[in-house]
A and B are shown apart, each in its own frame.
Chain A
């Protein structure tokens, strides 16, 4: 099973298996990663699962689609690598993905 490494808002590192097909957001919720709220449950409607894809992974993860791009405008402090983690489905090639959680509880 591929792994994701989450660095949460308090700087804590969570290394955890996330099954293929689940979203990066779901992996965070299931492992109690602080800062990923996902209050819309993954409908791409709220932006509270915002995270920064680590620079080394940005290209492989790919850019947001148009809907996500719009919704990201609601997100806290956008940067390069900003993605809504509910919109990234886990797959083998993302094994080892590093995601820095944004402060979604501001």
Chain B
């Protein structure tokens, strides 16, 4: 009988990275990668950006060419769900078939949060997570001028808004809070992006809570707000966050708490199971926090940690998180976290659209948001990782290179 494989459940960014790192790390045993989507594993970040605005072809999204999997000896199973995990017997059930594993990696990602209002199921109301979702939106946008309503002023909503606006559609962003991207950036940055979108002709509504969605007499859609305003739209894209895909792990008895709980080695509560990416509530050894992140950086870096654990060469996860978002001509880059900040310092000029906001907690630099200042972002990654002391004098003087602080 063949040796049981390492099975990776979830063929997104984290799953692909685990497979890749295992092979690069010298693992030559059986390796199985299972994805519930039919497409070969692909990148999601372009879906709200270039895929929309530049009509990018699907094959340009693929992480690896089709023959990569065979060359690397990866048994790739696509379009199938894993319906159960038995950590005692070390088996998973794939499409009704029970398969034994030597080790298991769970990289099931997250799924969109659905909006709990009447009318949410109407045709023309959609979400963006998969390439199929993106294809649907792109098809709608190519069928003539549309009125697009983006519910949620976070990354997805704003990136879609920018892409649709660049294609010439009329766009309204509907945000329930009093500022955009409130969960991740400072008020200053929210304000800048609100102005940026407005200057490109996007209507940005704040403090706008949705109470329902209706079909209008002319067959278009109407978004009803709690304050009585009604927004007409042909297409509604909802981007109000995501929820971790941890039900499978939870049913298997693995400890979960807003995601699959893992330690700094990507180890779950079962010694034969690791997990990585959007689906994990994980510990960062450097930052000494436990959090769940939805990002490419986390998926890749944590997957490398998970692979190292599987290879028996554990190393702790201590990468400082970073994120990016492209909207119109603004490149927003974020590093660290602004959660718990008690002071901010501004570098550069908001009016010129080139600035960075530095967040401090108790005198320690914890996060930096940069707009069109990639050099600040790059240097800040090192400043935060090294916990370098930084003085306001250097930060506020753009003539001084931040690198002198390193």
Chain B neighbourhood of A30, CB < 8 A:
59-60, 62, 65
Instruction: List A17-70 residues whose CB lies under 8 Å from chain B.
Output: 22, 26, 29-32, 37, 39-46, 66-67, 69-70
At the interface, yes or no: A105 with Cβ under 8 Å from chain B?
yes
Minimal beta-carbon separation of A85 from chain B (angstroms):
14
Contact check, B381 vs A74: say whether CB atoms are below 8 A apart: yes
Contact check, A39 vs B300: say whether CB atoms are below 8 A apart: yes
Instruction: List A58-91 residues whose CB lies under 8 Å from chain B.
Output: 66-67, 69-71, 73-74
Contact check, B64 vs A29: say whether CB atoms are below 8 A apart: yes
At the interface, yes or no: B163 with Cβ under 8 Å from chain A?
no
The residue from A37, A40, A71 contacting B378, defined by CB atoms under 8 A apart: A71
Contact check, B45 vs A43: say whether CB atoms are below 8 A apart: yes
Minimal beta-carbon separation of A62 from chain B (angstroms):
19
Contact check, A74 vs B64: say whether CB atoms are below 8 A apart: no
In the assembled complex, the Cα of A2 lies from the Cα of B34 at a distance in Å of 36
Contact check, B374 vs A67: say whether CB atoms are below 8 A apart: yes
Chain A neighbourhood of B280, CB < 8 A:
none
The residue from A29, A40, A105 contacting B45, defined by CB atoms under 8 A apart: A40
Contact check, A41 vs B43: say whether CB atoms are below 8 A apart: yes
At the interface, yes or no: B3 with Cβ under 8 Å from chain A?
no
Contact check, B326 vs A43: say whether CB atoms are below 8 A apart: yes
At the interface, yes or no: B68 with Cβ under 8 Å from chain A?
yes
Contact check, B59 vs A74: say whether CB atoms are below 8 A apart: no
Contact check, A39 vs B297: say whether CB atoms are below 8 A apart: yes
Contact check, A105 vs B24: say whether CB atoms are below 8 A apart: yes
Chain A neighbourhood of B43, CB < 8 A:
41
In the assembled complex, the Cα of A73 lies from the Cα of B59 at a distance in Å of 30
The residue from B65, B374, B375 contacting A32, defined by CB atoms under 8 A apart: B65
Chain A neighbourhood of B65, CB < 8 A:
29-32
Chain B neighbourhood of A70, CB < 8 A:
374-375, 377-378
The residue from B63, B324, B379 contacting A29, defined by CB atoms under 8 A apart: B63
In the assembled complex, the Cα of A69 lies from the Cα of B64 at a distance in Å of 27
Contact check, A41 vs B45: say whether CB atoms are below 8 A apart: yes
Chain A neighbourhood of B300, CB < 8 A:
37, 39
Minimal beta-carbon separation of B49 from chain A (angstroms):
8
At the interface, yes or no: B296 with Cβ under 8 Å from chain A?
yes
Minimal beta-carbon separation of A89 from chain B (angstroms):
13
Minimal beta-carbon separation of B82 from chain A (angstroms):
25
How does the 8 Å CB contact mask read for B45-83 relative to A, with 1 for contact and 0 for none? 110011000000001101111011001000000000000
Contact check, B374 vs A40: say whether CB atoms are below 8 A apart: no
Contact check, A39 vs B374: say whether CB atoms are below 8 A apart: no
Chain A neighbourhood of B62, CB < 8 A:
29-30
In the assembled complex, the Cα of A71 lies from the Cα of B376 at a distance in Å of 10
Minimal beta-carbon separation of B17 from chain A (angstroms):
8
Contact check, B63 vs A43: say whether CB atoms are below 8 A apart: no
The residue from A22, A32, A40, A73 contacting B296, defined by CB atoms under 8 A apart: A40
Minimal beta-carbon separation of B336 from chain A (angstroms):
15
Minimal beta-carbon separation of A55 from chain B (angstroms):
26
Chain B neighbourhood of A45, CB < 8 A:
324, 331, 333
In the assembled complex, the Cα of A39 lies from the Cα of B46 at a distance in Å of 11
In the assembled complex, the Cα of A27 lies from the Cα of B44 at a distance in Å of 19
In the assembled complex, the Cα of A69 lies from the Cα of B374 at a distance in Å of 9
Chain A neighbourhood of B71, CB < 8 A:
32
Chain A neighbourhood of B296, CB < 8 A:
39-41
In the assembled complex, the Cα of A30 lies from the Cα of B374 at a distance in Å of 28
In the assembled complex, the Cα of A43 lies from the Cα of B331 at a distance in Å of 9
Chain B neighbourhood of A73, CB < 8 A:
375, 378-379
Interface residues of B (CB under 8 A from A): 13, 21, 24, 43, 45-46, 49-50, 59-60, 62-65, 67-68, 71, 296-297, 300, 324, 326, 331, 333, 374-375, 377-379, 381
Q: Can you add 7 more A-B contacts, CB < 8 Å, to A26-B60, A67-B331?
A: A22-B60, A29-B62, A30-B65, A39-B297, A41-B46, A67-B374, A71-B374
Interface residues of A (CB under 8 A from B): 22, 26, 29-32, 37, 39-46, 66-67, 69-71, 73-74, 105
A-B contacts, 5 listed (Cβ < 8 Å)? A30-B59, A32-B68, A43-B331, A45-B324, A74-B381
List 3 tightest A-B contacts by C-beta distance, closest first.
A70-B375, A70-B374, A45-B324
